[in-house]
Amino acid sequence: MSQPQPVTAAILVIGDEILSGRTKDKNIGYIAEYLTNSGIDLREVRVVPDVAEEIVGAVNALRARYTYLFTTGGIGPTHDDITADCVAAAFGVGIDVDPRARAMLLERIAEADLNEARLRMARIPFGAELIENPISKAPGFMIGNVIVMAGVPSIMQAMLDRVAPRLRTGARVIAETIEAGALPEGAYAADLATVAGAHPDVSIGSYPSMTPAGFRNQIVVRGRDAAAVAAARRDIEAAVARLHAAKG
């Protein structure tokens, strides 16, 4: 039987402040782990400035390539918050203040204080579904396979929780870690290549690090077939044991 097609995703991070280094992104890793745990494969991440052509081009390229596109940033009240307009342009639809989004803002902002700048946060592309924001009330939205979320990490995380039940998911990836200890990568690289060739249904990665106790290597096997992951792990463990024994 053929394996089901994986559910895939990309992340588009929008904002000059990320590219300048003024703001350190805290969303990519969180979304990546969240998607992995949901059975969605994150395949690509892009960062673009607050430039309309760049955003529209990236949205159209990524939404065509993957099951879902998640965007962060650019849906606030200032002049450079242009994500909603760019997504509307990418889909070829209009955009205006959405009565549903306006009502959400009024849960936190008094009618008298709902000025033009704040109303920008209620401008939603036509046909989009709203994504609730329990923290500051200004919603995100989903149109087609594009999920548009805030850049503030706590708000983004809340939005992700709200939209997750609407998404199609796949089988979760199984990950197994083999401790290689102080063995250098060069000592077992050939063995890993051999194991990878024998087990094409899994992915194998080697991850060196420095710890207080000294140099350490870990080898990680990932796949959706438990038997295939287990078989690859056994082969790697045997190779690691042999190399340690050869070192004496």
Q: Taking a C-beta distance cutoff of 8 angstroms, is the pair 72, 149 a contact?
A: yes
What is the per-residue pLDDT across 138-164, written as a single tens digit (0 to 9) for each?
999 999 999 999 999 999 999 999 999
The pTM (predicted TM-score) of the whole model is: 0.86
What is the per-residue pLDDT across 190-243, written as a single tens digit (0 to 9) for each?
999 999 999 999 999 999 988 887 788 999 999 988 999 999 999 999 999 999
Q: Scan for tokens 């989903």, then name that residue.
A: 142
What is the per-residue pLDDT across 79-130, written as a single tens digit (0 to 9) for each?
999 999 999 999 999 999 999 999 999 999 999 999 999 999 999 999 999 9
Output the CA–CA distances (angstroms, integers) from residue 235 to 198, 221, 232, 238, 248, in the order listed. Answer: 10, 11, 5, 5, 20
3-state DSSP assignment of residue 11? strand
What is the per-residue pLDDT across 168-183, written as a single tens digit (0 to 9) for each?
998 888 999 999 988 8
Distance, first Cα to last Cα, the chain = 46
